[in-house]
């Protein structure tokens, strides 16, 4: 028992000595620090501060330490200052609530904000553009329902502030159902009202042709789903597409299927993807779009971030 206690104490002393050695080695302007994949510690003005990798302000804090910018690192210890600094003051926290200007941000949107900060995205522009797009939606109920769709899983946004979603179509890229009474503004339509979904196409219908009543589970409109839902819809014989849509074009989120599908009046087909669980994008930010092209090697992205339905279920023009 005594030998076990001695060995445990010796091991603790060795770890402490190694810790102090690293702190001394990284001593810059009397501000020793230590960083690892799981935590970062700074001794600032005689006081130690530590953040774990599970905290949203960890990566900005770690980056500031590595640059030797200790005053900035201290600001990242406070999540309020982190949000304000990251967004150049466009976003702020007051009385426990996050705001963009006078607009209070919904809980799901705050989660997305923290995900982007935790990811290490150096620019706030995509998130602010996402908020602006959201506020351009003419319907309050559409915005409120969109929160339900976004809360199913953390769907990523792109540099234009669009949301990435998924869509299942037939093997020949035609929608599996159609409505001849829908006014299609952009896209190829056949005599049955089905729409062709070629990669790079923008599909748009009159907003008034999209059912805004979420209680109508199967109804008119263009449909986008979560990865899980779209994959089940495409089946083994269909195609699974990655699409993106502007939040302002969201119309309604039917109450069925755990709010995994969304009716919109416009979307763009980004690419065809493999019908495989590994194809789902789990990062909160995805690529840069320029004239329909995607560049996943966005310079502001931090690589340290790792971290049976019937055919009618989609409704018309799905």
In the prediction, which pLDDT does 154 show? 63
Cβ neighbours of residue 266 closer than 8 Å, sequence gap 6 or more: 186, 202, 203, 204, 205, 222, 245, 246, 249
165-174 per-position pLDDT tens digit: 999 999 999 9
The pLDDT of 53-64, averaged and rounded, is 82
Average pLDDT, the chain: 80
Q: Which residues fall within 8 angstroms of residue 26, CB to CB, at 6 or more apart? A: 32, 33, 34
User: Taking a C-beta distance cutoff of 8 angstroms, is the pair 265, 288 a contact?
Assistant: no
Q: What is the mean pLDDT of residues 4-15?
A: 49
What digits encode the pLDDT tens for the residues 123-162? Answer: 889 999 999 999 999 999 999 999 888 877 668 899 999 9
**196 with 184: CB under 8 angstroms?**
no
% the chain with pLDDT above 70: 79
Higher-confidence residue: 172 or 62? 172
Three-state DSSP at 180 gives coil
pLDDT of residue 151: 79
Provide the pLDDT for residue 23.
Answer: 45
What does the domain layout of the chain look like in residue ranges? Answer: 2-77, 134-314
pLDDT at 109 over 60: yes
Q: What is the pLDDT of residue 149?
A: 87
With 90 as the cut, is the pLDDT of residue 288 above it?
A: no
Nearby residues of 64 by Cβ (< 8 Å), 6 or more positions away: 70, 72, 73, 76
Residue 152 CA: distances (Å) to CA of 95, 110, 228: 27, 15, 10
Q: How distant is the alpha carbon of residue 36 from its chain centre?
A: 25
Higher pLDDT, 96 or 208: 208
Tens digits of per-residue pLDDT, 292-312?
A: 444 544 444 444 434 333 232
Q: pLDDT exceeding 90 applies to what percent of the chain? A: 36
**26-36 confidence digits (pLDDT tens):** 545 577 888 88
In the predicted model, is pLDDT for residue 271 greater than 90? yes
Whole-model pTM?
A: 0.74
Closest CA to 82 of 61, 62, 102, 101: 61
What tens digit of pLDDT does each residue of 73-104 get?
888 888 888 899 889 999 999 888 899 999 99
């Amino acid at each position: 028992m005594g030998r076990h206690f001695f060995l445990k104490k010796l091991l603790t002393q060795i770890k402490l000595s190694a810790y102090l050695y690293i702190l001394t080695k990284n001593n810059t302007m009397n501000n020793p620090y230590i960083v690892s994949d799981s935590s970062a510690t700074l001794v600032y003005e005689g006081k130690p501060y530590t953040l774990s990798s599970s905290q949203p302000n960890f990566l900005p804090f770690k980056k500031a330490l590595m640059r030797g910018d200790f005053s900035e690192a201290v600001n990242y210890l406070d999540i309020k200052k982190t949000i304000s600094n990251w967004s150049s003051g466009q976003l702020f926290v007051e009385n426990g609530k996050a705001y963009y200007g006078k607009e209070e941000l919904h809980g799901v949107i705050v989660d997305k904000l923290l995900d982007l900060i935790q990811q290490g995205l150096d620019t706030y522009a995509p998130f602010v553009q996402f908020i602006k797009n959201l506020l351009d939606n003419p319907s309050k109920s559409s915005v409120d329902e969109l929160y339900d769709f976004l809360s199913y899983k953390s769907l990523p946004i792109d540099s234009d502030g669009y949301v990435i979603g998924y869509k299942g179509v037939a093997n020949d890229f035609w929608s599996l159902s159609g409505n001849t009474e829908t006014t299609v503004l952009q896209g190829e339509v056949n005599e049955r009202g089905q729409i062709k979904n070629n990669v790079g196409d923008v599909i748009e219908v009159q907003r008034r042709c999209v059912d805004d009543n979420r209680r109508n589970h199967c109804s008119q409109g263009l449909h986008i789903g979560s990865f899980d839902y779209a994959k089940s819809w495409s089946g083994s014989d269909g195609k699974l597409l990655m699409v993106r849509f502007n939040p302002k074009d969201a119309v309604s989120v039917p109450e069925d299927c755990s709010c995994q599908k969304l009716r919109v009046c416009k979307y763009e087909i980004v690419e065809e993807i493999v019908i495989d669980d590994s194809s789902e994008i789990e990062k909160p930010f995805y690529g840069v779009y320029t004239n329909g092209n995607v560049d996943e090697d966005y310079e502001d992205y931090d690589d340290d971030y790792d971290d049976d339905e019937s055919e009618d279920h989609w409704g018309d023009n799905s």
